[in-house]
Structure 1
Amino acid sequence: MDHSSVRQLLRNSQQDEAETKRRRLTLYFISYVGGTIMAFMAWLNYGGGDTLLVGSLAASAAVVYANVALSHAFPRNDTFYYIAGLIVVFTVNALVYTGGLNNTGLYFIFPLIFIQIIVVRFKPAIVYVSVTLGIAIALLFNQELIVAEYPPEHVSRFLIATLCFICVAFIGENFWHQSRKEMLKENLERMRQANTDPLTKLPNRRFLDAVFFDRAMEDPVSYFPLSAVVVDIDHFKKINDTYGHDVGDDVLIHFTQLMKECVRNTDVVARTGGEEFLILFPHATLSQAVKLAEKIRENVEANPFIQGDINHPITASFGVATALTDSNINAALKQADDKLYVAKKNGRNRVVE
């Protein structure tokens, strides 16, 4: 997993928590309140002879309730937000077509259109509102095709007021989104610093515990079997003692680059200690992880650290284990750590599974 992928994972983790909750609660509130109002209006008009208006309101209320019920059952599915937008398209133009009670249906258009703006995502909302208003304008200027009758002065004032309202609403939403984006950007940078090792620029233990493992457990199909490789540079203390800690830091950066050359885009290389690293291979069996670890070991051994008159060979030891499900991640990490100890005990510069 490269640096941009880590940033994207952090960004998604940050955005999902706040934005998803906001949109979901907004959908729930608007659906229950709006569905109840439409059902109440259908009841008020029942028996008044306008069966088309009553039927439209009742159908809209029923679909709204069904949509919000399904959204409770499948809270991670965005489809229900767009269905809510389509319900608004139908309800708005049903009111325009029938005229509502005594041709007062136009008064209810403003809150309905605002629902589209705040429930549907910003750019799709522009399309939804444009379609809704476009159909309404076509009906208003072809009144011979509809049941309602609107005086020309009512139509012109309604359209002017609606366009002004839509412009102000979208401007407000746009500024809100822009300010939120700036705040997210600042928070993302803080998260990146907190979740990244400053020397190697690799993810750290905090990133693994707070972001990666949580995401893996939320979506196990995309990650398991998950293989873990614990890596430790052999005799690193000797490098620091011989050349100094500045050179030791350069060795860590060199070693990091060698590991990253051998992993896949979906893999995670993290620094978990001084000279200790953890590599995570999503969707990799134990045998596949052993082959990848061996590839890294060979690459490290074949590329000594060279700087000025320093030409120091580097080797590393590897412990490999695999978690088949999200319930045994900790056990797999402990097993990989134990295997690393075996590799160290048996002579270093080897992969033990």
Structure 2
Amino acid sequence: MDSASLREFLENTHLNNAEAKRRRLTLYFISYIGGFIMAALAVQNLARGDHYLAFWLGFFSFSVFANAALSHIFKNSNIFYYIAGFVVAVMVAVITITGGYNNTGLHFVYPIILIQIIIVRFRAAIFYVTGTVVVVAFIVYNQESIPANYRGEDVSRFLIALGCFIVVAFISEYFWHKSRKEMMTDNLEKLRQANSDPLTKVPNRRFLESVYFERAMKNPADYFPLSVVVVDIDYFKKINDNYGHDVGDKVLIKLATLMKKAIRSTDVVSRTGGEEFLILYPKTSLSVAVKLAEKIRVEIEKSPYTEGDIHHSITASFGVATALTDININAAIKLADEHLYEAKGAGRNRVM
């Protein structure tokens, strides 16, 4: 996992989850509050004898409640936001046609059409709102066959005011999204720095414990069986003692780069401390993980560190274990550690 992949992983884990939660809560709040208001108005119009308007208000109240209820069941689906936007478009059209109470329905168009801008994603909202305004304009300029009766001067002023309202709302929404994106980018970079090793640029232990394993436990089907490989550079202290810590750092960078190139796009190489690394192989059995670790071991053995007069052979020892479920992660890492010590005790430069 390189820096770009780490940023994407963190964005999908933290920032996109926060945005999805914000949109979902906004949908629920607007749906339930709006649904109750429309239900109350439906009862009021029913008592007033306007059965036609009462029916439509009741229908829209039921629709938004049902849409919100279904979104509780299918939480990962975005279709309910677009259904809500479509319901709003139909609602605006019906209110414009009926005229509401004493032809005052147009006053409700302003807050209702704002829902489309808030709930539907910015670009999609442009099409939703444009289509809704076109329908409203067509209705108010062709009043011959509708119950409502609007004066010509009221129609023109309403459309001008509505246009100004929409422009201001979109400008506000645009700059809100822009400032939020800038804050997200800044927060994402801070998250990346906090979750990556500054020397090798691979994820660190904090990333594993607070991000990767947490996500694996939330989506076990995408990760388990999860094979873990503990990697430790053989006789690394001798490298530091003989050539200095600068060379030791370069060796760590070299091995991290080599392992990143050797793994698959779904796998993760992390530095867990000193000369020790941890490789994670999601959806990988123990036998396959052993073969993949052996491939890396051979690659390391074939890649000595060379710089000027320095030509130093490098080897590493590997311990492998597999977690079958999320409750076995820590046990698997502990077992892989034990296998690593077995590999060192057996002469190093091997996979156990």
Q: Provide TM-score, normalisation by structure 2.
A: 0.96
Contact 1:2/1:265 (<8 A) preserved: no
Give the Å deviation of 1:55. Answer: 1.6
CA distance in 2, matches of 1:126, 1:217: 38
In the other structure, the counterpart of 1:26 is 26
In the other structure, the counterpart of 1:351 is 351
In the other structure, the counterpart of 2:237 is 237
CA distance in 2, matches of 1:288, 1:78: 37
Contact 2:301/2:313 (<8 A) preserved: yes
Are 2:187 and 1:167 aligned?
no
Contact 1:231/1:319 (<8 A) preserved: yes
Give the Å deviation of 1:145. Answer: 4.2
CA distance in 2, matches of 1:217, 1:144: 62
Give the Å deviation of 1:331. Answer: 1.3
In the other structure, the counterpart of 1:40 is 40
CA distance in 2, matches of 1:222, 1:124: 31
CA distance in 2, matches of 1:39, 1:179: 37
CA distance in 1, matches of 2:79, 2:324: 32
In the other structure, the counterpart of 1:193 is 193
CA distance in 2, matches of 1:143, 1:180: 43
Q: Deviations over 1:74-130 (max 9, x none)?
A: 434332222221211111111012111121111100111111111222222212211
In the other structure, the counterpart of 2:217 is 217
Q: Deviations over 1:184-213 (max 9, x none)?
A: 111111111111101100000011111111
Contact 1:255/1:300 (<8 A) preserved: yes
Contact 2:2/2:201 (<8 A) preserved: no
Are 2:261 and 1:261 aligned?
yes
CA distance in 1, matches of 2:116, 2:15: 21
Q: Which runs of 5+ in 1 are unaligned?
A: none
Aligned residues: 352
- Partner of 2:331, secondary structure, is helix
Give the Å deviation of 1:50. Answer: 3.7
- Partner of 1:306, secondary structure, is strand
Give the Å deviation of 1:73. Answer: 3.1
In the other structure, the counterpart of 1:202 is 202
Contact 1:322/1:332 (<8 A) preserved: yes
Q: Which runs of 5+ in 2 are unaligned?
A: none
Give the Å deviation of 1:39. Answer: 0.7
Are 2:250 and 1:280 aligned?
no
Are 2:228 and 1:228 aligned?
yes
Are 2:167 and 1:138 aligned?
no
Q: Deviations over 1:42-73 (max 9, x none)?
A: 11111545433222111110011112222333
In the other structure, the counterpart of 1:323 is 323
Residue 247 of structure 1 aligns with an amino acid whose one-letter code is: V
Residue 294 of structure 1 aligns with an amino acid whose one-letter code is: E
In the other structure, the counterpart of 1:270 is 270
Distance 1:279 1:106, change over 3 A: same
CA distance in 2, matches of 1:225, 1:136: 56
CA distance in 1, matches of 2:328, 2:134: 56
Identical counterparts, % of pairs? 62
Contact 1:60/1:91 (<8 A) preserved: yes
- Partner of 1:230, secondary structure, is strand
- Partner of 1:198, secondary structure, is coil
Contact 1:139/1:145 (<8 A) preserved: no
Contact 2:300/2:314 (<8 A) preserved: yes
CA distance in 2, matches of 1:188, 1:254: 26
Please identify runs of 4+ aligned residues in structure 1 that moved more than 4 A: none
Q: Provide TM-score, normalisation by structure 1.
A: 0.96
- Partner of 1:350, secondary structure, is coil
CA distance in 2, matches of 1:221, 1:55: 46
CA distance in 2, matches of 1:333, 1:137: 66
In the other structure, the counterpart of 2:3 is 3
CA distance in 2, matches of 1:285, 1:18: 33
CA distance in 1, matches of 2:68, 2:37: 15
Mean Cα deviation higher: 43-52 or 57-66: 43-52
Mean Cα deviation higher: 59-68 or 239-248: 59-68
Say what the alpha-carbon RMSD is for the aligned residues. Answer: 1.4
Mean Cα deviation higher: 219-228 or 16-25: 16-25
CA distance in 1, matches of 2:279, 2:251: 18
Contact 1:234/1:315 (<8 A) preserved: yes
